Amino acid sequence: MKVTIDSWFAVATWNWDISDPHCVICMNPFEMPCPQCKYAGEDCAPIQGQCGHHFHMHCIYKWLETHDECPLDRVKWAEKILEDHRGAPVAQVPQ
């Protein structure tokens, strides 16, 4: 018996490799964009603080306009510089 495949559709899913399931500022999962964005992905990447908490990039930028501490533990905000597989920094929050 011979089988011929006429068409094939691949489906892929992805998740950020972080422990927090969602941004506590906007409450959206990290796989979804923050309220300021239209599309999920690297344009709205999660940012991690030295305290270990993660937030959507735009959510924490907005928060830092009026605060200087982590929204969860109130420790002075300092970003943890994350690196890609080559050791290059992937995101930085202006101080």
> Residue 91 is encoded by which pair of tokens?
């995101």
Grade residue 81 by pLDDT with cuts at 50, 70 and 90.
Answer: confident
**What is the maximal distance between C-alpha atoms in the chain?**
69
Quick one: pLDDT at residue 25? 94
Q: What type of residue sits at position 88? A: A
Quick one: pLDDT at residue 77? 94
pLDDT tens-digit series, residues 10-26: 887 766 678 788 899 99
Q: Domain-by-domain residue ranges, the chain?
A: 1-95
Quick one: pLDDT at residue 62? 93
Does residue 66 have a pLDDT over 70? yes
Topology (CATH) of 1-95: Herpes Virus-1 (3.30.40)
Percent of the chain at pLDDT exceeding 90: 35
pLDDT tens-digit series, residues 32-42: 888 888 776 67
CA pair distance 60, 13, nearest whole angstrom: 25
